[in-house]
Structure 1
């Protein structure tokens, strides 16, 4: 939108710069045990890698440095960017990577003429395929075929089948995909999707409740996005959240008590106050134009490709 410059730096041992705000103890490292004090533990004075506090403490350390120099989070002036890099290098041991090309394993592609940025996982996908010897497999057009359902009857039954499946790295492959998508939150709505026990794969007891829960989660993300835009000096007065369930939309606006919805956790009802204040509008969307369907159910190829187009994903 503003054609801002986008450059990247790598801070060496970044987490070690973080300052701890609480007392944290650790066992003495191997080969560094103090003689006659083997049962003692170490009191950490600085942040270390693998601490759950480390990412947050590094961010706070970096943010406080930038704020102390009166910086905001955006810039169009390359001269200012060079100045920032020089100041950062004085404070941290940094490597200048130039134009931003990658972030958490995703390639950053930019078309400045079209004012567009793209994120690509092509490289990572190719690595995963090589890792599981699937470079030459035949591609499929959708994640799941329409009407595909899993059940216990499909699981290995005999000892030979169980032994064979124990060597199939299924869980490992799923882990590779999940770890790369950690920033993605999915609200999975599949009412009575479990064929063996005939119950929902979510905690919802009805499709209306599942959709209502999804609206609440979407509104939380919309609030976060509005804050992000405000940091980019863009004011989003109203955010529109789309839903294809008319009954769920009605529930967001109705303050009355309902016997069928009295069990819904109170944290999901905060969406009513948000909507009442006018910051977010929940609007009906046709099921045929709902891109979320590709995340919640198996689809035919034409509908799946249409959903991809709606969210700007290209294969």
Structure 2
């Protein structure tokens, strides 16, 4: 609105240099005709009817229109207004012959009312004023307010009042078209009450409100806020006690030549798989970005277990009936010894009062240091090798112990351990020895590992990421979206089209989060890989495909990867390629799904780096990728002391590629893929693997190469090994 501060100009005009649009401002209470076609049930109903304009919608560019005959409020964008007519102006009282004074209609003068002798003088409320029509002569007009409700049905609920005589000059007070009821009538009895003294008790139902209390389950962002909460204060004290008992540092005087590393507190609420609170975690973290290479640290790499290794070990354990045990190492990074000199500030809120200016010289690693994961892995690896374990060459986070023909496996992912083996006593004895060396927490049977729920069922176990999917949908506000049955539509194709997003951060964050779902969801492999190809410059079209994928997750929250108990011990793979499927550069997409018996353990969907000149070439490259993964799996099974009864088989639906793998006559046509050719030929001739033909209808990897129609996609998804569990 215009303001004198801006020389009768509006802030909108000053900011945008254009005059605001007042065309939508209409007179309140005027006659209007909204378009009612969206509200009609058949074509014979009227498309509009006379209504009363009430106001504007707060959620859309529309008007509120009241139908007086049905008391129904319509919301419509298309309304015809008659601002000279007001339907409620003729509901009560005679029509006025003169135009009323607009000021007198809403600022009536107070009228003194004679009161009984036993009470002080009162002032008549403004509701009791009855304006009169204007007359030519300024003669006083006597108006009597009757006690009966004959002429005023709207005030039938009030008690009878004594007749009042009000003298008003008629030119100053016009006749009002309506006479609103008095909400607070005066009592007629002689008792002195609160109402006579104008003391009103508030209506109870009008005060039924509540205030949203601040949740106690919020993670604090500052040390001062955490110290005020007993739960977080206890968590911080436990962390400091663990650091002191572990001998993590010693206080030394500061030196100008030292590189002092800062530290801070990080607060997290640890939750169970069902979302309930497990514990409140406070962690003292060093600011590793203060470190300098060559001074504070040297090597930083630390291996973690591969998802394929986890699925292979789980498949072997379930098929053999082994128990799965889960351990958590408390303050794992604090166990690793440092070979470099690192100096850190004292923890905020826990500064030594005797030596407030001293710094901490770290003896052991602490969270946040660049070399902390490597130091912890080296400490754990040394202990396991001394115990008798052997480190796998295929996956350095896998340790195998064999005693008298009995095996025990350990999977290491930072501070989370999965232990499985033949005998439970063998596992218990090792856990006892491990507890004497490190502070561990025995979590019992495997149920929740790295965001993956392990749900036992009649067929074996189901690997589900239901909680992780719910977190993604809640973060993107897509929980109540309409589900779809396919992750990506067959048309239109996903191309480099659309308007570039002004801020691609959200796109990159969501697509990056979706990549973690590929641990248990091979049906998302092609869609996530396709969307990841546009991370550098995503557009509005790509964003629509992301929302489509989130809608697919809404309908498949409870689906997961089934690990069957009854499964033979053999390796076979399905390899497929979509030749020139990418219409941007006509490159092909390679995909494979590898099974250990009935259980899928490895899958991939990737864009080929070069353009294939024929479908045979594209399929041949895909077979080569599947053969490389099969070789690695064979090495992994050898480390696990597992011997396969027969050589692995790769199923390909291209006859030319299948024959080329075993027939060297065709090699003259494939000189430009000589490396892949020699690799596959040597594997086949040495009997390491076998390539067989399969029909396109039975090619399971087809769902990982291109968008499919609903029926075909659902059929392949069930054949791959995805099942749905009952919602919890």
Q: TM-score range by the shorter chain?
A: 0.7 to 0.9
The 8 Å contact of residues 576 and 699 in structure 2, kept in 1 or not, is answered as no
Greater share of residues in helix? 1
Larger of the two Rg values belongs to structure? 2
Match of 1:155?
Answer: 498
The 8 Å contact of residues 580 and 587 in structure 2, kept in 1 or not, is answered as yes
- Residues 1:140 and 2:484 aligned together: yes
Greater share of residues in strand? 2
Partners of 2:371 and 2:625 lie apart in 1 by 24
- Report matched runs for 1:101-250 at 5 Å: 101-111=447-457, 113-114=458-459, 116-152=460-496, 154-156=497-499, 162=500, 166=503, 169-181=506-518, 189-200=577-588, 201-206=607-612, 207-236=615-644, 237-250=646-659
Partners of 1:43 and 1:210 lie apart in 2 by 55
The 8 Å contact of residues 447 and 454 in structure 2, kept in 1 or not, is answered as yes
Partners of 1:31 and 1:256 lie apart in 2 by 73
Partners of 1:277 and 1:47 lie apart in 2 by 50
User: Deviation of residue 130 (structure 1)?
Assistant: 0.5
Match of 2:293?
Answer: none
Give CA deviations for 1:250-305 in whole Å, capped at 9, x if unaligned: 22223457454222262663232122111211111211111111111011111111
In structure 1, stretches of 5+ residues that fail to align are: 33-41, 157-161
SS in 2 for 1:143: coil
Query: Which structure carries more relative contact order (alpha carbon 8 Å, separation 6+)?
Result: 1
Give CA deviations for 1:55-106 in whole Å, capped at 9, x if unaligned: 6x75565455334334342523222222111111122221111110122211
Partners of 2:695 and 2:464 lie apart in 1 by 29
SS in 2 for 1:292: helix
Match among 8, 11, 15 for residue 329 of structure 2: 11
User: Deviation of residue 31 (structure 1)?
Assistant: 8.5
Structure 1 length normalisation: TM-score?
0.77
Give CA deviations for 1:201-246 in whole Å, capped at 9, x if unaligned: 5224323233222212212222333344445543213111211122
Match of 2:692?
Answer: 283
In structure 2, stretches of 5+ residues that fail to align are: 1-318, 348-360, 389-400, 402-407, 410-419, 527-574, 589-606
Match among 71, 76, 83 for residue 422 of structure 2: 76
Partners of 1:232 and 1:51 lie apart in 2 by 32
CA spacing shift, 1:188–1:249, aligned 2, 3 Å? closer
- Residues 1:293 and 2:702 aligned together: yes
Match among 87, 110, 129 for residue 433 of structure 2: 87
CA spacing shift, 1:79–1:197, aligned 2, 3 Å? closer
- Cα RMSD of the aligned pairs, angstroms, is 3.7
The 8 Å contact of residues 581 and 706 in structure 2, kept in 1 or not, is answered as no
